[in-house]
């Protein structure tokens, strides 16, 4: 199971850090991803990280503003979101596609508004 | 980047009817990395089918997936009231992309 936290209301230009805690399994053998979904919209990939954190990739819309990281000792994935924009408003999901069956969290809502 | 195009955008059907949802890729996909999801309002996506044709645990056998190459189909043999939802396909063999979704609504 994956459980996200850290979402909330933030002003444009502000920062927020999301967390994704794993339970029932250890994250250290899983590549991890963040996916977001605006209200009424589709699913959009945001970022991914390899098992030891040495390799990260970002969607163009967040590159340079978001940082994905992980702490395998805490079994937790993170997404540091800086310079937030209204268009970053969405539900953010952490997910893994390493196993045969994808694993998703329940999502956390981020609202960027003044 | 592989683009996934789902059709139709909306499917209006009655309970008991058969639904066929299409997912077409801009280039060949490894079938091991093709997934179908169901999503209801306020909920996370739920895995229905993985590896193009394998039902996830607990998924009723009225759901089936088929296809290869660039063309994939999710079929719901007889719609139940709880099946009215949005369905997405996804591939993760070459980066990670999602289709735009098909909404199955009650006619």
Q: Which residues of A are less than 8 Å from B42 in CB distance?
A: none
pLDDT in tens, A76-94: 999 999 999 999 999 999 9
Segments of chain B scoring below 50 in pLDDT:
none
Give the pLDDT score at B88: 98
Residues in B touching A43 (Cβ below 8 Å): 45, 88, 90, 98, 101
pLDDT at A99: 86
Phi-psi region of B70 (alpha: psi -120 to 50; beta: other; left: phi over 0): alpha
**pLDDT tens digits for A29-79?**
999 999 999 999 999 999 999 999 999 999 999 999 999 999 999 999 999
Could you say which of A33, A101, A104 has the minimum Cβ distance to residue B96? A33
Q: How much is the pLDDT for B94?
A: 82
**DSSP type of residue A98:** S
- Give contacts of A 26-55 with B, CB under 8 A: 33, 42-45, 48
Find out whether A92 and A78 touch, Cβ atoms under 8 Å: no
Is A82 exposed, middle or buried (CB count within 10 Å of its CB: 0-12, 13-18, 19+)? middle
**Rounded CA separation B90/A7 (Å):** 25
pLDDT at residue A73, rounded to an integer? 95
DSSP per-residue string spanning A38-92 = -TT--EEEEEEE-TTSS-EEE-TTTTTTEEEEEETTTTEEEEEE-S--GGG-EEE
Q: What is the DSSP letter of B15?
A: T
Nearest to B50 among A33, A102, A105 (CB): A102
HSE-up (13 A, CA, CB side) for residue A49: 23
Contact B50 A45 (CB under 8 A): no
């Amino acid at each position: 199971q994956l459980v996200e936290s850290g979402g909330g209301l933030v002003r444009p230009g502000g920062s927020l850090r999301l967390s994704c805690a794993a339970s029932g399994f250890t994250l250290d053998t899983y590549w991890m991803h963040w996916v977001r979904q605006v209200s009424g919209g589709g699913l959009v990939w945001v970022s991914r990280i390899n098992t030891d954190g040495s390799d990260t990739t970002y969607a163009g819309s967040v590159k340079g503003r978001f940082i994905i990281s992980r702490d395998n000792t805490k079994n937790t994935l993170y997404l540091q979101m800086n310079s937030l924009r209204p268009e970053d408003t969405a539900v953010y999901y952490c997910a893994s596609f390493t196993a045969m069956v994808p694993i998703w969290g329940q999502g956390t809502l981020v609202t960027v508004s003044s | 980047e592989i683009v996934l195009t789902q059709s139709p955008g909306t499917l209006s059907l009655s309970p008991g009817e058969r639904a066929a949802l299409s997912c077409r890729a801009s280039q060949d996909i490894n079938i091991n990395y093709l997934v179908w999801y169901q999503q209801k309002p306020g909920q996370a996506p739920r895995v229905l089918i993985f590896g193009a044709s394998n039902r996830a645990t607990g998924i009723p056998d009225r759901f089936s997936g088929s296809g290869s190459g660039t063309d994939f189909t999710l079929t719901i043999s007889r719609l139940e009231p709880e099946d009215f939802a949005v369905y997405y396909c996804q591939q993760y063999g070459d980066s990670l992309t999602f289709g735009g979704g098909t909404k199955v609504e009650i006619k």
